[in-house]
Amino acid sequence: MHSALRIDPVTGLLVGVRQVLSPHFDERPAGVTPTLIVVHGISLPEGEFGGPWIDRLFTGNLLPDAHPSFASVAPLRVSAHAVIRRDGAVTQYVAFAARAWHAGKSVYQGREACNDFSIGIELEGADHIPYAEPQYLSLSRLIGALCEAYPSLSQSRVVGHSDIAPGRKTDPGPAFDWPRLKNLLV
């Protein structure tokens, strides 16, 4: 049985998880609370797991010449609130009350600029590589903690990046098992 995750209501940080705080965030617009959870998939390089590259991307320290695919992404100023590694370990990059820069140009139910009102959670993975069971368990625990800490959130408002940026983004991709996640959230 996995222990529950808990969010410190003062700091907006997960208690007892690795913190690598990103400079790529800002404040949400006045009076805006998170109402949406966006699930992403990320791997650097594509299809490879482990290593320091996600930390480096989200902190602005990705070396463009460390891998041929990094030249185009190294200059980006992006982040997510949290990343869940293949083994289920959670790393937090941005406090949940702040606006992480994860969604880009996006729209949910007619409302644009999803970063303003969403929490971004990256899973270490790729569109066509099955995600690992520990990731689903950690994701369900994190969603539970978020819904407890922020009553404006709901397990029914969890979407993929591809849902809010169709045609531009494909993650978490067809390998993500939405029914598996929904069963864990019940």
pLDDT of 4 strictly over 90: no
Over residues 117-137, the pLDDT tens digits come to 999 999 999 999 999 999 999
Would you say the pTM of this structure is higher than 0.85? yes
Q: Check if the beta carbon of residue 41 is closer than 8 Å to that of residue 176.
A: yes
Helices 178-185 & 133-149 angle (0-180, nearest 10) = 50
Does residue 1 have a pLDDT over 50?
no
Catalytic annotation, pick one of 46, 48, 112, 122: 122
Task: Give per-residue pLDDT as tens, 134-164.
Answer: 999 999 999 999 999 999 999 999 999 999 9
- pLDDT for 164 equals 98
Q: 167-182: per-residue pLDDT in tens?
A: 999 999 999 999 999 9
Distance of CA 28 to the CA centre of its chain: 17
Q: What is the per-residue pLDDT across 53-112, written as a single tens digit (0 to 9) for each?
A: 999 999 999 999 999 999 999 999 999 999 999 999 999 999 999 999 999 999 999 999
Q: Are 135 and 86 in contact (CB under 8 A)?
A: yes
Instruction: Kindly state the DSSP code that residue 101 receives in the 8-state scheme.
Output: S
Position 3 scores a pLDDT of 64
CATH number of the domain at 18-185, please?
A: 3.40.80.10
Q: How far apart are the first and last CA of the chain?
A: 16
What's the CA dihedral at 119, 161, 50, 56 to 10 degrees? -60
For this structure, is 122 an active site residue? Answer: yes
